[in-house]
Amino acid sequence: MLFEVKNLTLGYENEKIIKDISFVVSDKDFIIITGKNGAGKSTLIKGILGLIKPMGGEIIFDESLNRKLIGYMPQETKVDSSFPASVFEIVLSGSINKMGLRPFYSKEQKNKAIDALKILNILKIKNKSFQDLSGGQRQKTLLARSLCATDKLLILDEPSNNLDQASREEFYLLLMKLNKELGITIIMISHDQDIDKVLGTKQLIIRDNGYEFKDIEVEEDDL
């Protein structure tokens, strides 16, 4: 077990968005979170990341998982598309939470950034400016940055939103590689209604009147 969500209620001020939800995230899970707009998918992620406090219930983390070292790829990236940084600089910035009081990145962190670029097949564009990348290349760069933050858990909030079909399918294949070959646990919010037919090992469906947490079977040939 990496962490357990136990009777969790989340919301803002006096409005409850997520109510009394419970599930367990185990090592090497690939969990797809679905539900209509406003159901509370992103609110749940914020609760897991500690960005908002529970109104009820709790999230119990295994001692092997440091919440500060979770790789997070938000729906709206904080990287300005016009920011004149190279791909390598952006990927390397994923290690910031590991720097402590050191003012410079370590050799190990730089090597990890190179490894992330290799894994996602974007090493050849490491010196390219982020503002000159295609949509698919930007998402791979941001995913590589998230990889620099963690060896255990990636949380992605609708990462395929602005990708065309070909780029989306390539991105999904990369996620499966990270999960199956590197053993990284992934939690991903998706708006794709049929996502469970191509991706994931478990699905959390959030509804107005409750939720469903279930195992799913994926056939890679469906991609």
pLDDT in tens, 67-126: 888 999 987 665 666 667 999 999 999 998 877 657 789 999 999 999 999 999 999 999
Cα–Cα dist 59/48, whole Å: 7
H or E element: which one contains 215? strand 210-215
Judge if 135 and 164 occupy the same domain.
no
Q: Write down which residue in 100, 127, 149 finishes a domain.
A: 149
Residue span of the structural domain in which 124 resides: 79-149
Pairing of strands 185-189, 30-34: parallel
| pLDDT for the residue 76 | 61
Pairing of strands 153-157, 185-189: parallel
Q: Is residue 4 part of a domain?
A: no
Q: Is residue 161 part of a domain?
A: yes
Residue 23 has pLDDT above 80, yes or no: yes
Q: Write down which residue in 131, 149, 167 finishes a domain.
A: 149
Which has more pLDDT, 222 or 159? 159
Tens-digit pLDDT profile for residues 158-189: 998 878 889 989 999 999 999 999 999 999 99
Q: Write down which residue in 90, 116, 149 finishes a domain.
A: 149
C-alpha separations of 145 from 25, 87, 95, 133 in Å? 23, 9, 8, 15
DSSP class of 86 = B
Q: Is residue 83 part of a domain?
A: yes
Minimum mean pLDDT range among 153-162, 196-205, 214-223: 214-223
Give the chain's domain count.
Answer: 2
